[in-house]
Amino acid sequence: MNHNKQQSSDLGHDDDAALSDFLASLMDYTPTIPDELVEHFLAKSGFQSPDLRLTRLVAVATQKFIAEVASDALQQCKARQATVVRDKRDKQQKDKRLVLTMEDLSRALHEHGVNVKHQEYFADSPSIGMDPASRDE
């Protein structure tokens, strides 16, 4: 019991040290999302903190999240290209066209708990696309 307590306190110290180091390193790292934008959205939701490191922490967390989602979508895109490819010539062409599509994005976001649905096409009236014989004129 005592040994465990000592261990946890040691871990606590390590964690604190690591935390302070990390916060210091945050000031060197400039997140992609600018500080003003992060502060705007934080203020909009009621988060108040004079400490710049906390805003940078939030910016880094958001950047990490978006990077994860984007990389998941990229993996989906590459997996799709791998199944479709037939010969070498097509492979090189398709590698250059890494496009973020709604379909990949919705699948990637679904794993993170966000459900995004995208309309495939928009129609003017309900009868568009139907059989002309059955369409009422």
Residues engaged in binding other proteins (CB under 8 A): 11-12, 15, 18-19, 22-23, 25-26, 29-34, 36-38, 40-42, 44-51, 54, 57-58, 60-67, 69-71, 74, 95-102, 104-105, 109, 111-114, 116, 118
Q: Which is nearer to other proteins, 65 or 84 (CB)?
A: 65
Residues 116, 105 contacting (CB under 8 angstroms): yes
Nearer to other proteins, 14 or 127 (CB): 14
Q: At its nearest, how many Å lie between other proteins and the CB of residue 135?
A: 29
C-beta of 18 vs 128, nearer to other proteins: 18
For 109, the enclosing helix (H) or strand (E) is helix 102-111
∠ at Cα 28 (24, 31), nearest 5°? 110
Q: How many CA atoms lie within 13 A of 108 on its CB side?
A: 21
Q: What angle do CA 122, 105, 83 make, to 5 degrees?
A: 100
Name the minimum Å distance from CB 1 to other proteins. Answer: 17
